[in-house]
Structure 1
Amino acid sequence: MRLQCEVEVLSRLLPTCGLRGRGRAARALLSLGRPPGAAGAGIYLMVCTARDRGGARCSRTWSGSSRASWRRERPRCGCGSPRWICASARVSQQEANVINLKTFLSAVRLAHQGNDTGVLPLSPLVPAKNSDVEKPKTKMIITSRRDYPLTKSFPFSLEHLQTSYCKLARIDSRVLCLKKLRKLDLSHNHIKQLPATLGDLVCLQELDLHDNHLEAFSGALCSSGLQKSLQLLDLSQNQIQALPLEFCQLRGLVQLRLDDNALLRLPCRIGQLSRLRFLSAARNKLPFLPWDFRNLSLENLDLFGNPFEQPNPLVPNIQLKIPLTLLECAARATVNHRIPYGCHLLPSHLCKDLEVAKTCRCGSACLSSFIQITVTMNLHHVAHTVVLVDNMGGTDAPVLCYFCSLHCYSQFLDRHLQSHA
């Protein structure tokens, strides 16, 4: 029975001498068994490290539920006092399968109790291989195509992988098997499309895709395991024109970079990104911001270089249908009264329409019957630090505003004219 873990070797005499009692953890291989060719010998626990691959054997074992330790009594030292060596082995879920850990601890307990050794999963106590005691590689940085591995697999223990300037046209399927990845940097490549299996990297916190050839960001990725894990997303210097409606399901996002794309609009429900603190969408083609943008609470905002339109509340875009259609009335009632709905109750296209329902300034919902205008909003209302919107030193931007009826629009117009009188 073998177990890979980290081991600390401690001396019980150090505290009596006023010295620190804790050592430095080392990568090790624990083995429970007998020496080769010694069928009748006792059972030993052997620890092998990179410095001592031959291993040190220990008897008298003891085990606990989440912590395994052993100790060995050595011959008395010159001062006549007994000397004890205590070692503790910590194993996290990322280092070993939970079932393997429980099996190992159970075997150690049975061996200590003197149970029938014939049923114990014993291993021959032989020196460890280099691969058994080497610390797992957690970081790999590749910045040229010639250094990119073509035949070798990536270490499954990787948590940080950077493959930049490698002229990759797609994401390597071997990368999609690295389930422990927390940071993935694929910047400065030629990637045009993202595979749906990228969402299987449920531990991924940072994804850097800037300076590629992306034209879209898949809605399937927004509905995957990245919803909770992804905190930083860099899509700058690509060719994206619009983000999907599902993009606002990435509720864990803290930092979002969209600079130097061809964005014509931002997601209409962007205000649902409640944890977002840093947003950069400079040098795009945004004519205005969605009304939900006012619900953001940012620390830093950069919208420089967008061709924002000049707001004019007196020139509305009227899409009102009088009288309202039955579909419009039912949709408004569903949203206003928060009636549960889903694809099991309604056609999928109706569900999508309800998800993008517009909100009037009075709080009522409207679907396809509305009045639309653009109004000015000072970006300091949503961000502590604002990069100037233009070279004129302004921090105002146009925001879409909707009205569910002529009555709501006329009330707004009266207040607007009075404020400018």
Structure 2
Amino acid sequence: MAERLLLRARRGGRGTRSVSLRGMQLQRVPRGLASLPGLRALSLRDNELRCLPVELGGLSRLTELNLGNNIFEEVPEQLKYLSSLQKLHLFGNKITTISPTIFVPEEIGYMTNLRMLCLSRNQIGVLPDGLCKLRKLRILDVAGNKIQIFPVAMEDLMLMELYCEDNPLLQKQPVSAIQEEEVWSLKEIAARFIFSQLTKEDSILHTAVKQNLEACNILSKKQECAQCGQGFLNIWLECVRFVNVRQKMKISRNVHLLPVRTLLCSYKCFNHPGHGFFGIAVP
């Protein structure tokens, strides 16, 4: 049945703009979709899909894709090649994790035109930092997941609408806690020293690091302290700051403060007065 519908769409010419295969209990994407290069909108919602064919990434003009109410367990990697995509619906699936590279524009394209992303009613616990590289994203719907905290660069997104109700978001309820003694590994101590020296233009470490590929790889994982701005290697102290975004965008009614992940390099920075960062209490 799906193949016959697709054939009818193709008779309209290679300029077919829209195809809907909604609610047909499909377990795989029909052959031939990838041969519609002019396709702009595709609906595969309400089926039994758990993966997409590699060929689907060739739909270079696709601007809207609806994969809602299927059984995807992760965001399909093929989607990142749809450079013209503006609207992506993945609501009502079984997504638990998102690849950290799916939204990172390492090459020209990589979903940088995405304006609306709907991931509601899944089982997502963590949103990747790469999500914040979608500079054109205006609507984000992650309601009904398992999200506690949003990525560090969340405020870089120019969102107009954010829906995040029915998530176990961290709440601003300060409690006292005993601080553990700071113990850094030798690797961490060396990395922090190198980061401090690389800020100096005449440091001989600039040349030494460039000639050592292993060192470059390790130092590329640099984090930056939100308080002092110094670089460090590992996530040493994960904190949260609560941001009031109601004046900037339309947001779920029951969300008053948005918990945003923050990284600090030491308890010295954590104990600095007036910064507004909170440690995360684990029950």
What TM-score, normalized by structure 1, do the two folds share? 0.53
Is the radius of gyration larger for structure 1 or structure 2?
Answer: 1
The equivalences for 1:12-411 within 5 A come to 146=1, 148-149=3-4, 152=7, 154-155=9-10, 156-222=14-80, 224=81, 226=82, 228-249=83-104, 250-311=111-172, 312=174, 321=184, 324-326=188-190, 346=213, 350=217, 354=220, 357-361=222-226, 362-380=228-246, 383-388=248-253, 393-411=254-272
What letter is aligned with 1:321? W
Identity within the alignment, %? 24
Cα pair distance change 1:150/1:271, threshold 3 Å: closer
SS at match of 1:184: strand
Shift of 1:151: 9.2
Counterpart Cα distance in 1 of 2:22 and 2:34: 16
Give unmatched runs, 5+ long, in structure 2. 105-110, 207-211, 278-283
Shift of 1:262: 0.4
Cα pair distance change 1:245/1:147, threshold 3 Å: closer
Counterpart Cα distance in 2 of 1:272 and 1:313: 34
Q: Any conservation in 2 of the 1:260–1:282 contact (CA below 8 Å)?
A: yes
RMSD across aligned positions (CA): 3.4
Cα pair distance change 1:147/1:208, threshold 3 Å: closer
Cα pair distance change 1:151/1:275, threshold 3 Å: closer
SS at match of 2:262: strand
C-alpha offsets along residues 30-67 of structure 1, whole Å, 9 cap, x if unaligned? xxxxxxxxxxxxxxxxxxxxxxxxxxxxxxxxxxxxxx
C-alpha offsets along residues 340-390 of structure 1, whole Å, 9 cap, x if unaligned? xxxxx847x948x946x5442144443315211122222326x421122xx
Counterpart Cα distance in 1 of 2:31 and 2:51: 13
What TM-score, normalized by structure 2, do the two folds share? 0.76
More strand by share: 1
Counterpart Cα distance in 2 of 1:374 and 1:292: 12
- Tell me which of the two structures has the higher relative contact order, counting C-alpha pairs closer than 8 angstroms and 6 or more residues apart: 2
Give unmatched runs, 5+ long, in structure 1. 1-145, 340-344
Instruction: Determine the structure 2 residue equivalent to 1:133.
Output: none
Q: Any conservation in 2 of the 1:204–1:230 contact (CA below 8 Å)?
A: yes
What letter is aligned with 1:288? I
Counterpart Cα distance in 2 of 1:247 and 1:255: 15
Shift of 1:211: 0.6
